[in-house]
Structure 1
Amino acid sequence: MGKNKFTKEEIDFLSKNEYVVKVTESQVTFTNEFKKICVLQSNKGMTPSQIFNNAGIGYHLIGNSRARNNISRFKEKYSREEGFSRRTGSGRPRNKEFTSIEEELQYYKDKAEYLKQENNFLKKQKALERQFK
């Protein structure tokens, strides 16, 4: 975690800005609109200090490295297909409900095959470990 924390006054100031969604003592969450503005203005050659000051956010509060890192991250997300929204299905998979017996049977066959391959790999790994001890 960074050492630059926001004071209560800074949090109050930032939270009143139209481009800020949420502020904690250690981070600021910006609106998608502001993220897009940052990308477009940065591509036109504006510096991070100009972008943040023009938005009324106060570059001196955000800091140089935080501002540059945010803009870099915004550019990366802007170029993705889903844009600034989070990817769906990127977390831990949910337990699946099967619609048919065949689907469930195929699932368990695939799982059994996977486990067989995993066991074979682990057996080979143990054999190699024993060989080199």
Structure 2
Amino acid sequence: MARKMFTQEQVRVMAENPYTFHVSTTQITFTNAFKEEFWRRYQEGDTPRTIMYDLGYDPEVLGRNRLSGIQNVVCKQAVSAKGFHERPQRRRGEGSAEGRDTTTQAQLRQMQHRLKYLEQEVEFLKKISSARGGRKQGPRP
């Protein structure tokens, strides 16, 4: 299913909300204050849709899937040992040079693993080929 994208105007409006930590056309991240308020009200029995509206977000803009996702994230963080946390969202491959080195190392390990696997496949095919080569091919009498 395609992810519902925000318009530039929707991004601007959500960015102005004090509970928004980060927003782009594809994702939104909330502050700890938002998560604490959301959790408190959720525990009191308010629905996620009502909570979002009261905290200044249009539930229709967010959509049903995001509302469900926000609820899941807040509930998981609320009961986790780490508690609520804000984290900037990064795309894969972005970040520090150390992150890129780790990615390069991971790619190298993956390629080495694939090479070993392919070498094993070649050896297996050689064995099958030599086993068949020892027998005469053709119809049996």
Query: Which of the five TM-score ranges fits, normalised by the shorter chain?
Result: 0.5 to 0.7
Aligned residues: 98
Within the alignment, does 1:76 sit opposite 2:76 as a pair?
Answer: yes
In structure 1, C-alpha distance between the alignment counterparts of 2:81 and 2:67, rounded to whole Å: 24
The equivalences for 1:100-119 within 5 A come to none
In structure 1, C-alpha distance between the alignment counterparts of 2:4 and 2:79, rounded to whole Å: 29
Match of 1:99 in 2: none
Structure 1 runs not aligned, ≥5 long: 87-91, 93-125
Larger radius of gyration: 2
Alignment partner of 2:83: what SS? coil
In structure 2, C-alpha distance between the alignment counterparts of 1:2 and 1:53, rounded to whole Å: 24
Match of 2:56 in 1: 56
In structure 1, C-alpha distance between the alignment counterparts of 2:61 and 2:18, rounded to whole Å: 16
Higher-RCO chain (CA-CA 8 Å, sequence separation at least 6):
2
Q: Aligned letter for 1:4?
A: K
In structure 1, C-alpha distance between the alignment counterparts of 2:85 and 2:51, rounded to whole Å: 22
Q: Does the C-alpha gap of structure 1 residues 85 and 3 become closer, same or farther in structure 2, counting only changes over 3 Å?
A: closer
In structure 2, C-alpha distance between the alignment counterparts of 1:30 and 1:57, rounded to whole Å: 11
Name the Cα RMSD after superposition.
3.1
In structure 1, C-alpha distance between the alignment counterparts of 2:23 and 2:72, rounded to whole Å: 20
In structure 1, C-alpha distance between the alignment counterparts of 2:51 and 2:85, rounded to whole Å: 22
Runs of at least 4 residues off by over 2 Å: none
Structure 2 runs not aligned, ≥5 long: 87-98, 100-119, 129-141
